[in-house]
């Protein structure tokens, strides 16, 4: 009984610490969006150059999604999580000593590489300690931390920039990351794995690689990736440019932006937290209808947001945009944990995040060039609405009934593993 209680308590400690880790990571990455006007002034940057700067993080971040997922499946989540936190904390601190646009872009790119392994590793960490039935709900709940972190970022970062300057803010956040990595290392036990028989290490590695290659060939996974790519164009575009848009186009100051921007993230956090439960409870085997409805709603309210006459209207519709797009995030994260076995969770989440973070590289960059080219945000918001419509179209072709998910699972199974089992039999 004591052992069972200890195991139950441990899994919730893992969830809480991973939740806090996501909050730290989002505060770190969001800081630059609030510092960007100061950075632009110091380095004399134009909107197109700001777009390059904001996108540089996501390029590095996206490149590490698949390797991070594979490493988590291969070696377990704990070492990948700790190394990732240490790496991104170093380059968060180094951001504060950048001396030019080129140095800032390079630092942000390496920062993205460091943080890029964390998403898949964190969901892998949940899969290691929770049962198959619990994983979709707990994975979606974990993702709600993205928006809690994004909600806290303006409240923490904006006042710090005002009082300490943008460079010092990055130094302080780097120190906080170091402290968190130490806490995770000492408080979390590594997941128990089946011992590898003598001489079987190469065979296990071969099986892991075969399973990973088969996962990459699974059409259902790539459809999920494409859906989240479209909504991530919206997600990353708004996350990166809304502070600047509100200050330059709607006449707000940094303090006002810091007070208003947390509101959409509250709605996003709620929808992501309940998204896994909603998916399992009401859309089991019919997940595409949740994806279609949420993507359509995102596009509609995005249009209303941009065309709103008042700041209150902008923020109200932005709240609705974030609420519905976050159901898509919850579903795209929860669905692979439902379909695939635990040993493929890290890799499958890495694929989903590859789509999301590729959009994170593209969206701020495209918006920056569109704003520079047309001196307004008309085409930029049209670009975001078109991306949401892409997600609607792809969602129509997603099938997640029992037969479809069994087929996807079978396609991801390594033939090497099956041959090995037959030889043992």
Confidence at residue 416, expressed as pLDDT on a 0 to 100 scale? 42
Confidence at residue 335, expressed as pLDDT on a 0 to 100 scale? 87
Higher model confidence: residue 381 or residue 144? 381
Distance between CA atoms of residues 155 and 419, nearest Å: 56
Of the candidates 235, 68, 92, which has an alpha carbon nearest to the alpha carbon of residue 157? 92
What SS3 string covers 122-188? HHHHHHHHCCCCCHHHHHHHHHCHHHHHHHHHHHHHHHHHHHHCHHHHHHHHHHHHHHHHHHHHHHC
Cα separations in angstroms, 324 against 208, 289, 311, 338, 342: 36, 13, 20, 21, 28
Helix, strand, or coil (residue 354): helix
Residue 424: count of CB within 10 angstroms of its CB:
6
Q: Give the mean model confidence (pLDDT) for residues 337-361.
A: 81
Give the contacts of 131 (CB within 8 A, at least 6 positions apart).
none
Inter-residue contact 151 to 266 (CB < 8 Å)? yes
Confidence at residue 229, expressed as pLDDT on a 0 to 100 scale? 94
Q: Give the mean model confidence (pLDDT) for residues 366-383.
A: 88
Higher model confidence: residue 340 or residue 18? 18
Confidence at residue 194, expressed as pLDDT on a 0 to 100 scale? 47
φ/ψ of residue 144, rounded to 5: -65, -20
Confidence at residue 232, expressed as pLDDT on a 0 to 100 scale? 92
Percent of all residues in the chain with a pLDDT value above 90, rounded to a whole number:
17
Which tens digit of pLDDT belongs to each residue from 38-74? 888 888 888 778 878 877 887 888 888 888 888 888 8
The ranges assigned to domains in the chain are 2-190+211-412
Q: How confident is the model at residue 424 (pLDDT cuts 50, 70, 90)?
A: very low
Q: Give the mean model confidence (pLDDT) for residues 180-187.
A: 87
Confidence at residue 1, expressed as pLDDT on a 0 to 100 scale? 45
Inter-residue contact 186 to 87 (CB < 8 Å)? no
Which runs of consecutive H residues, i.e. helices, occur in 44-100? 47-63, 65-75, 77-95
Res 283 pLDDT > 50:
yes
Higher model confidence: residue 65 or residue 390? 390
Confidence at residue 207, expressed as pLDDT on a 0 to 100 scale? 56
Higher model confidence: residue 371 or residue 383? 383
pTM > 0.95: yes or no: no
Confidence at residue 411, expressed as pLDDT on a 0 to 100 scale? 56
State both tokens at 142: 């974990």
Higher model confidence: residue 208 or residue 69? 69
Inter-residue contact 93 to 110 (CB < 8 Å)? no
Mean pLDDT in the chain? 82
CATH number among 2.60.40.10, 3.40.225.10, 1.20.1250.20, 3.40.50.720, domain 2-190+211-412? 1.20.1250.20
Res 381 pLDDT > 90:
yes
Res 414 pLDDT > 70:
no
Confidence at residue 196, expressed as pLDDT on a 0 to 100 scale? 44
Confidence at residue 410, expressed as pLDDT on a 0 to 100 scale? 56
Higher model confidence: residue 2 or residue 396? 396
Confidence at residue 92, expressed as pLDDT on a 0 to 100 scale? 86
Res 394 pLDDT > 90:
yes
Q: Give the mean model confidence (pLDDT) for residues 202-221.
A: 72
Q: How confident is the model at residue 191 (pLDDT cuts 50, 70, 90)?
A: low
Percent of all residues in the chain with a pLDDT value above 70, rounded to a whole number:
88
Q: Give the mean model confidence (pLDDT) for residues 252-268.
A: 80
State both tokens at 22: 């996501």
Res 412 pLDDT > 50:
yes
């Amino acid at each position: 009984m004591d052992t069972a209680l200890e195991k139950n308590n441990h899994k919730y400690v893992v969830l809480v610490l991973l939740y806090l880790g996501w909050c730290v990571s989002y505060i770190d990455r969001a800081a630059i969006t609030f510092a960007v006007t100061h950075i632009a002034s110091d380095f004399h940057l134009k909107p197109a150059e700001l777009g390059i700067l904001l996108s540089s993080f996501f390029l590095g971040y996206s490149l590490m999604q698949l390797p991070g997922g594979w490493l988590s499946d291969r070696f377990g989540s704990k070492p990948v999580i700790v190394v990732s936190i240490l790496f991104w904390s170093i380059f968060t601190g180094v951001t504060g000593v950048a001396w030019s646009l080129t140095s800032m872009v390079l630092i942000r790119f390496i920062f993205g590489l460091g943080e890029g392994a964390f998403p898949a590793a964190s969901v892998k960490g949940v899969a290691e300690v929770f049962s198959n039935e619990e994983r979709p709900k707990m994975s979606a709940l974990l993702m709600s931390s993205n928006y809690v972190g994004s909600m806290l970022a303006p409240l923490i970062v904006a006042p710090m920039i005002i009082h300490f300057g943008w460079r010092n803010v990055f130094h302080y956040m780097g120190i906080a990351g170091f402290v968190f990595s130490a806490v995770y290392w000492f408080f979390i036990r590594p997941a128990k794995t089946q011992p590898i028989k003598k001489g079987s290490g190469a065979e296990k590695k071969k099986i892991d690689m075969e399973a990973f290659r088969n996962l990459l060939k699974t059409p259902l996974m790539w459809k999920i990736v494409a859906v989240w790519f479209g909504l991530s164009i919206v997600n990353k575009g708004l996350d990166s440019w809304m502070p600047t848009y509100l200050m330059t186009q709607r006449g707000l100051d940094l303090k006002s932006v810091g007070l208003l921007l947390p509101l959409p993230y509250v709605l996003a956090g709620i929808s992501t937290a309940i998204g896994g439960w909603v998916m399992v409870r009401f859309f089991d085997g019919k997940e595409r209808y949740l994806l279609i409805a949420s993507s359509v709603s995102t596009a509609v309210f995005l249009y209303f947001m941009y065309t709103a006459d008042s700041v209150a209207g902008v923020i109200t519709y932005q709240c609705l945009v974030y609420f519905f797009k976050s159901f898509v995030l919850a579903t795209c994260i929860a669905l692979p944990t439902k379909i695939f076995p635990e040993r493929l969770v890290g890799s499958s989440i890495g694929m989903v995040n590859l789509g999301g973070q590729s959009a994170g590289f593209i969206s701020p960059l495209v918006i920056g060039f569109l704003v520079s080219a047309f001196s307004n945000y008309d085409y930029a918001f049209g670009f975001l609405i078109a991306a949401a419509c892409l997600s609607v179209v792809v969602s129509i072709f997603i099938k997640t009934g029992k037969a479809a998910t069994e087929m996807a699972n079978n396609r991801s199974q390594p033939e090497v593993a099956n041959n090995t089992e037959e030889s043992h039999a």
